[in-house]
Structure 1
């Protein structure tokens, strides 16, 4: 059975191994031991902190195979982006131009550099080891963050967003970067990707063009990938869209991957989760999958079959009870998935 829990200091080595599998595009999880050590420390401090309103907190979760005590995945939440460095995006907009004398009516697309997501909560660093991409592991890992957010809403912003990895070819080349970023930064895409991932973002503020980029002047290959998710990220985008996060024209400044967003109160998993009491311990008769999370100081989350009763109580099988480290009479949060 898998359990999703806050990261611990002892998880550094397997986290580094996961980061090395992520490749380009996942800038929030660089394969850098020093940076990951800092992220783990910040996460541990954030979970322990009493929070009234979101600031620079960072919550990093791992998925652990409890049978083998092996870390197979991770995911994270940035409570409020842009607290240390501005959080930049491109906003895709349209400009209509008309000349009555020549009967010409043209619509031009523009990319404007903005930081409209400043202060929003970011879903990030979702990664699952290839051999763990079975059954509902990916779904459980992604949804677990929403259960934590629903339990502790004061830790998070009113708006939730995620950057989806944009198109990059097998050699790590981004058509959008070649057409735009390359000309202003003078470094290749992997280098820029790495610098952003380890938190060195001043170069973005110093070198990024402040004027709109006319999309029509870009090569067709670059135009074609604006707002398009990488093949390996399309499923993640579709999954978030089912949770009511939508693409509204914002894209990543490096690879032009889409950003999706929603008010926290509109996120499906946050709206639909319930607090219930465990009243029985027995094998489930249900075929429905649930995600179950503890409500105490130590957040733990796992998926499986449970029996939900109309009076706001549930019966859990013993293996799920043991994995969550809860007992009969405890209150848990459940989400039907």
Structure 2
């Protein structure tokens, strides 16, 4: 299993995964032309590695033996520079009447664009039959290895939007109760437009003034900042990296936005460089616990290693060297997991 940059030949299988993800997965819409453009933009970003401005780095996890894509993930280098980016900020408003002896603190939702210019990790999806052998960990943490390797390409802060609670029909109770009053369309249609990058209507139609949460049903208030059941493992991995909820939620499904300073993320902070030593007679492989990345003959690659580093070197097998596209003595960036 090897993680690599996406290429145009992956379009058909990427489209299959987009269909599989279902509602609420806005960064991977079921639209062939949009996905083709996404691949084109990503290929350009990998070729140029710009140090400033927006760029999309899209990766796929390939089952090389089966010739099949097992999953995908992506990084948006800087959000909101070309198209608007909005979410809600959960805040507080104090009300008091000394005459009546009443003092209340009321939670509010305010339209926000505070994350403009930040990096976003997104589009993490692992197909059901590959949810094993710590492949989800590989997908999630490989992005930090890329960001650490190309640190100058990314800003100070990074965040991730998590899918919120949906009902059995794939619709958002939060949207039905709140968003649809300002934007008269079903959740799936609004979700589709966001996925296609058509976001200007948010600033045009969504409320400009704070919304008092006590006006919403209690069950919806309780759902704010909660994630979809399928998203809980991804959230747990991001929390382990050090990303935390700071009170921002998605406009449509109320899923949490978790964030951190990039240099404080464990996968960036704890990764390091070692030299590869190709061993023709490798030792018995250990439980996968070391991720290695390289920018070898085939571009950026990530895979599990069977051995842990010793000092500033790590023994790798011929197969691992082929997967990473490296030769003896190549520099690898590794991360213990």
Q: Which whole-Å CA distance do the structure 1 matches of 2:221 and 2:50 have between them?
A: 42
Q: Is the 8 A contact 1:66 1:323 kept in 2?
A: no
Instruction: Name the Cα RMSD after superposition.
Output: 1.2
Which stretch of the first structure deviates more once superposed, 29-38 or 101-110?
A: 101-110
Q: Give the match for residue 266 of structure 2.
A: 268
Q: Does the residue aligned with 1:334 lie in a helix, a strand or coil?
A: strand
Secondary structure of 2:124's aligned partner: strand
- Structure 2 counterpart of 1:15: 14
The 8 Å contact of residues 295 and 333 in structure 1, kept in 2 or not, is answered as no
- CA drift at 1:178: 1.1
Tell me the equivalent position of 1:173: 171
Equivalent position SS for 1:170? coil
Match of 2:224 in 1: 226
Q: Is the contact between residue 163 and residue 252 of structure 1 (CA under 8 Å) also seen in structure 2?
A: yes
Equivalent residue, structure 1, for 2:334: 334
2:66 aligns with 68
Q: Which moved more, 1:247-256 or 1:280-289?
A: 280-289
Q: How many residues align?
A: 334
Q: Give the Cα separation in 1 of the matches to 2:316 and 2:271.
A: 16
Aligned to 1:125: 123
Shift of 1:288: 5.5
Aligned twin of 2:200: 202
1:289 aligns with 2:289: yes
In structure 1, stretches of 5+ residues that fail to align are none
2:158 to 146, 160, 170: 160
- Aligned to 1:165, what secondary structure does the other structure show? coil
- Note the residue ranges of structure 2 that are not aligned, 5 or more in a row: none
TM (norm. structure 2) is: 0.96
Tell me the distance in 2 between the aligned counterparts of 1:132 and 1:63.
10
Cα deviations by residue, 1:169-201 (Å, 9 ceiling, x for unpaired)? 120221210111110100000000000001111
CA shift at 1:296, angstroms?
A: 4.0
Shift of 1:318: 2.4
Partner in structure 1 of residue 213 of structure 2:
215
- SS, match of residue 300 in structure 1: strand
